[in-house]
Amino acid sequence: MHDEHNAPTLERTPKPPNLAGLGGRTIAGRYELGDLLGVGGFGAVYRAWDRTLRETVALKMLRRVNAVQLERFRREVSVLRLLRLPGIVHHLDDGLHEGSPFLVTEIVPGQPFPGRTPPCGWAEVADETIGLLETVARFHAVGVLHRDLKPSNVLMGPDGRPVVLDFGISWSTGYSHDAEGGGLLGTPAYLAPEQGRGDTCDARTDIYALGVIIYEAFSGRLPHTERTITRLLLAKTNDAPRRLVDIVRGVPRDVSDLVEAMLEPEPRNRPASVVEVLRALKDGRTTLTRGIAVTAAARAHSPLNAYKNPSWAVYGRRRRMVADRRGREEGSRLVGRRCEFLRD
């Protein structure tokens, strides 16, 4: 686990239990604990040596487990057993040791997304961005939401491919939302406004987090930098972040518009699925080739224009401009008609 780039210090963040003293112990007679890799809200992850397979693994150990935390742990185990997919950390083992649950996965060498220090140019992170979107699209396709996507939960492996970790607060169609236990789920800097309000989440919740991750990779800063949870959630709902194209040199306008759409406060105004985001990026990639100028005709036919052409869809500030120009009531009807495809 790694610290987030420029993540705000937030009030009332729970302090994790002290698990550093477990290093050097053997778990379940098989796993020799080594270095402490990271600590979360109710557990810790160690580098461990598997005596049976004679290989290095990652072992997550839970301590002070209550019923809600145990349910989340079972959920993570079930999700990882289900997700035998490229780009998802591989589940190896799980069990109990002296009453404490543990989970064993492959150890992923690498750096947090995008694998280099932001800010980055589009040419540097285009492949990594599309690889991350493809991975998220895979687990969305089987009914799994991550709900805690952030750079430290996406490690860039030696082959340059992203690997998604930590499904501890994920949700799948096999579980009820009732077992959340209250409180704020997710990392405040990356969670969507509806997640902060405790509303129902869907694929567009992860899309918002992806928008924050991509925005940060390009700009080296978060879209919103308020220092308390309350102010941060209010800003996410009410204040549009500065557009990437206005603060980062060389970011294609099409990509900036797409990220702006992903960061819309209202889920209904975001792209409906990660597949839709991918289609826009992949099909429009000829207009985004590493600094090569394109003709006006080629740009006009780019699918990325779906996120900036008022004749097809209205997002972000363009939506507000329509309301200002034609009157709030007329603008609202216009947005409703043009965004109808999001509700199909």
Q: Sheet containing 111-112: which strands, arranged edge to edge? A: 111-112, 154-156, 162-164
Fold of 111-343: Transferase(Phosphotransferase); domain 1 (1.10.510)
pLDDT of residue 66: 76
Residue 160 phi, psi dihedral angles, 5° rounding: 85, 10
Q: Shortest CA distance to 274 belongs to which of 223, 343, 218, 210? A: 210
**Which residue numbers are catalytic?**
148
Question: pLDDT at position 43, please?
Answer: 80
- What pTM was computed for the model? 0.74
Domain boundaries, the chain: 20-106, 111-343
Determine the pLDDT at residue 73. Answer: 84
Identify residue 277 by its one-letter amino acid code: V
The structure tokens listed for 144 are 């799994």
Residue 328 burial (C-beta neighbours within 10 Å; 0-12, 13-18, 19+): exposed
pLDDT along the chain (344 residues), means of 10: 41 39 82 89 87 95 77 84 90 90 92 95 92 96 91 92 84 45 72 91 96 97 93 94 94 93 96 94 55 37 43 36 38 34 32
What is residue 22's predicted lDDT score, i.e. its pLDDT? Answer: 62
CA distance 98 to 177: 29
Element (H, E) at 91: strand 91-97
- What one-character-per-residue DSSP string does 268-329 give? GGS-S-HHHHHHHHHHTGGGSSTT----HHHHHT-GGGGGT-TTT---HHHHHHHHHHH-HH
Give the span between the Cα atoms of 322 and 316, in whole angstroms: 10
Predicted local distance difference test score (pLDDT) of residue 296 = 38
Q: Please give the CATH number for the structural domain made up of 20-106.
A: 3.30.200.20
